[in-house]
Amino acid sequence: MNVSMSLSLDNTQIAFAYKSTASLKRARFLFSIIQSPLVVSLATRVTPFLMNTGLPINGLIRSTIFNQFVGGETLEETARVSKQLGAYGVQVILDYGVEAKEGEENFDDVTEKIIEAIEFAATQNNIPFVSIKLTGIASLKLLETLNEAPRLRSGIHDSEMEDAAWERVKERMYAVCEVAAEKGVGILLDAEETWIQDPIDRLAIELMEVYNKEKVVVYNTYQLYRNDRLHFLQLSYKIAKERNFLLGAKLVRGAYMEKERLRANEHGMTSPIHIDKEATDKDFNDAAAFCINNKESIALILASHNEQSNLLVAKLMAEKGIPANDPRVHFSQLYGMSDPISFNMAKEGYNVSKYVPFGPIKEVIPYLMRRAEENSSVNGQTNRELLFIRRELARRKAKK
C-alpha cells in the first residue's frame, strides 16, 4: 500500500522513458510550431482543405501531429501504443476519434465501431475504458431540441418523430452498455456543450441506474468550469443513493469555454461558465474532494493536466489512507500531453490512463486541430510541455 506523499510529477527521465531521443525532438519541434496562434489558425483552415485535394500530405501529418496525439488508424495499430504504455504501468481509455457525421446510418456505424473497441479493449490487459461522445450516435438537432423541450423535462416527448429518434439513440447506448457490462469495460460518456448536455445527463443517470448496481460500468462527465456542476454532481450522488446505484464521475474543467461565452453573449444570457479560472479551479478541486469523501458510492476519474489538482487528490488519498491503486480512483491525461503527470503517478502505483483516440487520419483531423488550438494559446499547455521536453533532452545530452 502506498499512501506516502513523496509524489513528485517532474521527473522527466521517468516521464519520457518510453520515448526515443528522436521522437522527443519531433515532439519539441511540433510543440514549438503549434505555440504560434498564427500558424495554428492557418493550419486549422488549410489542412482540412488540403486533405480533400488528394495532395500527398498524409505522410507529413502522420509523422508529426498524428503520431503525437493519436494511437493509430486502426485498433491493431493502437494496440502497439497501448502495449508501449502498458510497459510503464499506464492504462488506456480508447476513443473512436472520428468526428460526428449526421445520419442514422452513420450513427449505427459509429455504434458498431464503439462495440468493436469495447470487444478489443476486453482482450487487452490495460484498456479498462472506452469513451463515447453522444453526438457520435445522435443528431445534434435532436439533442438541442430535447435540451430545450420543456415538456420533455417531465418525460413526455414532443413529437413522434423525435420520440422515435431518441428511442434509437437509447437503443444504441443500451447495446453499447450491454456489451461493456458483459466484457467488464467501463463506458465514459463525454460532456459536451450546455445546449445539448441535458439529454446526455438524463441518459447517463438512466444508464447508471441500470448498469451500476454492483460495480461502475457507466461514468458521466462533469465540467467544473460550469457554475452549476458542483451542485449537479452532488445532486447526482443524492439520486444514486436514493435509487441505489453507484455513481461514475469523470471530472474535467471543460473544453468549450470560448464557444459557451460567445453563445451566451449572442443570446443575451448569463454565461454558464465561471467568471474566472480561480472559480473553476475551486469547484474542480471541491468536486474531487467530494468524490474522495464519498468513495463508498462514487468511482472517480480525475481527467486533468493540472499538477495541483492531481497532487491534491493524491494528498487526500494519503490522508484518508486510501491506497494509490484503489480501483475507485483513476487519473487520466490525453495521449501526447502531460507525460510527467501520467508516468510519474503510474510509477508510484496510481491508476493512470492516457485517453487515446484512434481512426483514419482524414477523419481525426478535427480532433487534431482542436489539440493544436488548445496548445497554441499563450496560457495553454505548450509551455509546460516544452519545458519538460527540453529538460529531458538536456539531461540525456549531459549524460552522454
Ligand X SMILES: Cc1cc2nc3c(=O)[nH]c(=O)nc-3n(C[C@H](O)[C@H](O)[C@H](O)COP(=O)(O)OP(=O)(O)OC[C@H]3O[C@@H](n4cnc5c(N)ncnc54)[C@H](O)[C@@H]3O)c2cc1C
**Chain residues that interact with ligand X, rule: CB under 6 A:** 190-191, 221, 223, 225, 252-257, 273-274, 276-277, 280, 303-306, 332-334, 355
In the complex with ligand X, the residue whose CB is nearer, 30 or 352, is 352
CB of 273 to ligand X, least distance (A): 6
Q: For residue 199, what are the contacts with CB-CB under 8 A and spacing of at least 6?
A: 134, 143, 146, 147, 152, 166
In the complex with ligand X, the residue whose CB is nearer, 47 or 382, is 382
In the complex with ligand X, the residue whose CB is nearer, 12 or 306, is 306
45, with CB counted inside 10 A (0-12, 13-18, 19+), is: exposed
Torsion, Cα 128 280 70 342, to 10 degrees, reads -60
In the complex with ligand X, the residue whose CB is nearer, 253 or 328, is 253
In the complex with ligand X, the residue whose CB is nearer, 298 or 334, is 334
Dihedral sign, CA of 27, 28, 34, 39?
Answer: negative
In the complex with ligand X, the residue whose CB is nearer, 274 or 328, is 274
Specify the DSSP class assigned to residue 337. S
CB of 349 to ligand X, least distance (A): 20
CB of 289 to ligand X, least distance (A): 15
For the chain, helix (H) and strand (E) counts, in that order, are 18, 8
Per DSSP, the residues of 313-334 read HHHHHHHTT--TT-TTEEEEEE
CB of 170 to ligand X, least distance (A): 20
What are the start-end ranges of the E strands in 224-369? Answer: 247-252, 298-303, 329-334, 352-358
Compute the 3-state secondary structure of the chain and give helix, strand, coil in percent, each to the nearest 5: 60, 10, 30
CB of 374 to ligand X, least distance (A): 7
CB of 251 to ligand X, least distance (A): 9
